[in-house]
């Protein structure tokens, strides 16, 4: 079993994030009043909020890109692709299908309750808290907001204090675009989040590391609040000799080094045979050069590590294997070069912790069975990737391993498909969202049975159980016979 990840340190001093936002107590009370006012019930209101969120993103695209650059040196194109664009698409998809998703769904009824009709009705939960991390600080705060608003909830947003510029920009923009009585922003770090978690709400949606995930779950238990936990883990990549290795190397390198490796669904380590590893190593080196040039530090497209703490943690992993390429660091710039490690010790931190940075270790195994044994001996990952042309291999991986999602032939892209639920399993999380799953996640699915007064079928099966009725009941429950 891998150790759980310990990124958040309650002793870390929080950075100031500008003008103070609402306190947790004030925000939750306002959201409670907002929900009780009934304003979120009409579908027209929900659509208007989603359109307002779309305007917030589009009209402030330049400012959002600047904030992401300031926090993570995120390339503006990457910001468009992985933060703003993905949200706009999610909003459009939701607006297009929301009517259908909210329509009550008829289900068949058994003979014994005829002539009733049965329906599943989605109703909002109430007040939702969304706590987001720093690595995709716009996407991971607003993607759950889309589903929560579409389902008719009011929402308290808690951006990550580690993406300082993005957090304060969002705190400024949200009240100017969205209904203040339905969406609130609470900025801050551990003390503010602790206070927020102490409030009674109707759902908590947390994205981040598993250590804090446990804190969230404990806090939620006090009020019996349901939670969604979007956590991380070590997402493995299997590559075999049937794959187009040059293409696999390019895609794996992109997936690993986008956002300087700080992506929850990034390929965390490669599993392959020694023969394939020998062919992959030079291909990965040239793929990195293709992506970021001979000197990635000079590339405008290559990001930086979020803070000194993460930088030091990652820098400590660079000597935990044979350096195939990379290994260069610049502490002043929080720069770590795209790095490939081979011959790693599987007991070292680079293989026991989620890396969450621009380092890709290669682990060699004798073949697929050993790779599957390696994967299943560890916590269930958020994603599993395979590069193979063999359907049998893909099938074996699908049926013999468990992970939040699977990408065969491409890392990370599965989360851009709104029709695919996105979430983890086991240590990588619980619950899922995106598209219709988001609306389901932020709704209670209420069972409604409507039974007319006549004909009185119920009366026919109620006491007194005279012979005629007993015979009828027996016939109706004949399925009880062995
Ligand atoms: P982080 O440090 O920004 O923490 C996330 C949130 O938790 C923040 O809003 C922070 O204020 C709050 N928090 C931190 N410590 C707390 C405490 N002691 N009590 C209460 N709240 C606290 O981000 P992180 O956790 O370092 O993010 C990286 C992790 O998140 C990785 O494990 C990554 O895999 C995971 N992640 C998962 C997904 C996903 O969708 N499944 C997406 C991104 C990141």
Consecutive 10-residue averages of pLDDT for the chain (482 residues): 35 44 92 98 98 98 98 96 97 98 96 90 98 98 98 98 97 98 97 97 98 98 98 97 98 97 98 98 98 96 96 98 97 98 96 98 98 98 98 98 98 93 98 98 98 86 89 76 61
> Same domain for 168 and 293?
no
* CA dist., res. 170 & res. 183, Å (int): 12
Residue 466 lies in a domain: no
Answer whether 311's CB lies under 8 Å from 331's CB: yes
Q: Are residues 206 and 291 in the same domain?
A: no
Q: Are residues 157 and 39 in the same domain?
A: yes
List all residues whose CB is within 6 A of at least one atom of ligand 1: 5, 7-8, 10, 131-135, 140, 158, 160-162, 189-190, 193-194, 207-209, 212, 215, 230-232, 264, 354, 356, 382, 424, 429
Examine the domain organization and report whether 267 and 371 are in the same domain.
Answer: yes
As a whole number of angstroms, the distance between CA 449 and CA 120 comes to: 9
Report CA 232 to chain centroid distance, whole Å: 9
The preferred substitution site among 11, 129, 209, 267 for testing ligand 1, maximizing ligand atoms within 8 Å of CB, is 209
Ligand 1 atom index nearest CA of 264: 34
| Helices 43-59 & 85-102 angle (0-180, nearest 10) | 170
Distance 16 CA to ligand 1 centre (A): 18
Q: From the CA of 428, give the closest atom in ligand 1.
A: 41
The CATH number of residue 167's host domain is 3.40.605.10
Claim to verify: residue 193 and residue 245 sit in the same structural domain: no
Read off the CATH number of the domain in which 343 is found. Answer: 3.40.309.10
Q: Same domain, yes or no, for 187 and 54?
A: yes
Is there a domain that residue 61 lies in?
Answer: yes
* For ligand 1, atom 39: residue with the closest CA: 230
The residue whose CA is least distant from atom 17 of ligand 1 is 190
Cis bond upstream, residue 196 (ω within 30): no
What's the rounded Cα separation, in Å, for the pair 370 and 82?
Answer: 34
Query: Is residue 369 one of the residues assigned to a domain?
Result: yes
256 and 176 together in one domain: no
**For ligand 1, atom 5: residue with the closest CA:** 133
Does 63 share its domain with 165?
yes
Name the residue at shortest CA distance from atom 6 of ligand 1.
133
Give 85 Cα–ligand 1 centroid separation in angstroms: 22
Please indicate, yes or no, if residue 256 is contained in any of the structural domains.
Answer: yes
Q: What is the DSSP string of 72-116?
A: H---HHHHIIIIIHHHHHHHHHHHHHHHHHHS-EEE---GGGTT-
The residue assigned the tokens 């710039």 is: 333
Report if residue 479 sits inside a domain.
no
Q: Mention every residue, 6+ apart, whose C-beta is less than 8 A from residue 248.
A: 239, 280, 283, 387
Rounded (5°) CA angle 94-413-69 = 85
Provide the total of helices (H) and of strands (E) in the chain, helices listed first.
18, 18
Identify the bridge partners of residue 205 per DSSP, sorted by sequence position.
130, 228
Q: Give me the domain span that covers residue 253.
A: 236-423
In a domain, 35, yes or no: yes
Ligand 1 center from residue 209 Cα (angstroms): 5
Structure token pair of residue 187: 């900025």
Atom of ligand 1 nearest to the CA of 162: 3
Looking at the structure, tell me whether residues 304 and 245 fall in a common domain. Answer: yes
Burial class (CB in 10 A: 0-12, 13-18, 19+), 403: buried
The verdict on 273 and 374 lying in the same domain is yes
Which residue minimizes the CA distance to atom 13 of ligand 1?
Answer: 190
- Alpha carbon of 431 to ligand 1 centroid (Å): 16
* Ligand 1 atom nearest to 208, measured from its CA: 30
Q: Say what the pLDDT of residue 481 is.
A: 61
> CA-to-CA distance for 280 and 274, rounded, in angstroms?
10
Question: Do 66 and 156 fall into the same domain?
Answer: yes
CA of 114 to the centre of ligand 1 (A): 50
CA of 285 to the centre of ligand 1 (A): 31
Residue 455 within any structural domain of the chain: no
User: What is the reported pLDDT for 331?
Assistant: 97
The residues carrying an active-site annotation are 230, 264
Residues in the chain: 482
Which residue bears the tokens 């969002």? Answer: 170
């Amino acid at each position: 079993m891998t150790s759980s990840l310990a990124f958040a340190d309650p002793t870390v001093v929080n950075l100031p994030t500008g003008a103070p936002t609402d306190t947790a107590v004030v925000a939750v009370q306002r959201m409670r009043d907002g929900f009780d006012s009934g304003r979120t019930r009409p579908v027209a209101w929900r659509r208007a909020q989603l359109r307002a969120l779309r305007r917030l993103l589009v009209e402030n695209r330049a400012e959002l890109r600047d904030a992401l650059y300031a926090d993570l040196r995120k390339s503006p194109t990457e910001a468009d692709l992985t933060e703003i664009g993905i949200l706009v698409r999610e909003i459009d998809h939701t607006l297009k299908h929301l009517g259908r998703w909210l329509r009550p769904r008829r289900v068949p009824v058994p003979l014994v309750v005829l002539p009733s009709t049965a329906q599943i009705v989605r109703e909002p939960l109430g007040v939702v808290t969304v706590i987001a991390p720093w690595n995709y600080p716009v996407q991971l705060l607003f993607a759950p907001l889309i589903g929560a608003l579409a389902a008719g909830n009011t929402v308290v947003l808690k951006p990550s204090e580690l993406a300082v510029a993005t957090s304060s920009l969002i705190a400024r923009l949200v009240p100017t675009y969205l209904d203040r009585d339905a969406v609130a922003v609470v900025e801050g770090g551990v003390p503010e989040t602790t206070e927020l978690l102490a409030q009674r709400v109707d759902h908590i949606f947390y994205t981040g590391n598993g250590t804090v995930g446990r804190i969230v779950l404990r806090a939620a238990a006090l009020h019996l609040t349901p939670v969604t936990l979007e956590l991380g883990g070590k997402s493995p990549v299997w590559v075999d000799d049937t794959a187009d290795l040059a293409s696999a190397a390019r895609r794996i390198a992109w997936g690993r080094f986008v956002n300087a490796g700080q992506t929850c669904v990034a390929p965390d380590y490669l599993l392959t045979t020694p023969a394939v590893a020998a062919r992959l190593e030079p291909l990965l080196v040239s793929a990195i050069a293709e992506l970021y040039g001979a000197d990635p530090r000079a590339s405008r497209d290559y990001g930086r590590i979020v803070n000194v703490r993460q930088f030091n943690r990652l820098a400590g992993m660079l000597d935990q294997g044979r350096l195939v390429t990379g290994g260069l660091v610049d502490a002043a710039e929080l720069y770590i070069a795209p790095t490939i490690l081979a011959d790693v010790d599987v007991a070292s931190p680079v293989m026991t912790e989620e890396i969450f940075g621009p380092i890709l270790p290669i682990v060699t195994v004798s073949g697929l069975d050993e790779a599957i044994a390696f994967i299943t001996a560890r916590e269930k990952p958020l994603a599993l990737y395979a590069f193979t042309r063999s359907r049998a291999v893909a099938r074996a991986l699908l049926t013999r391993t468990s992970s939040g999602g699977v990408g065969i032939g491409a890392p990370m892209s599965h989360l851009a498909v709104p029709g695919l639920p996105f979430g983890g399993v086991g240590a990588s999380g619980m619950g899922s969202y995106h598209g219709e799953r988001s609306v389901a996640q932020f709704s209670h699915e209420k069972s409604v049975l409507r039974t007319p007064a006549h004909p009185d079928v119920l009366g026919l099966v109620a006491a007194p159980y005279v012979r005629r009725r007993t015979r009828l009941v027996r016939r109706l429950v004949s399925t009880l016979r062995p």
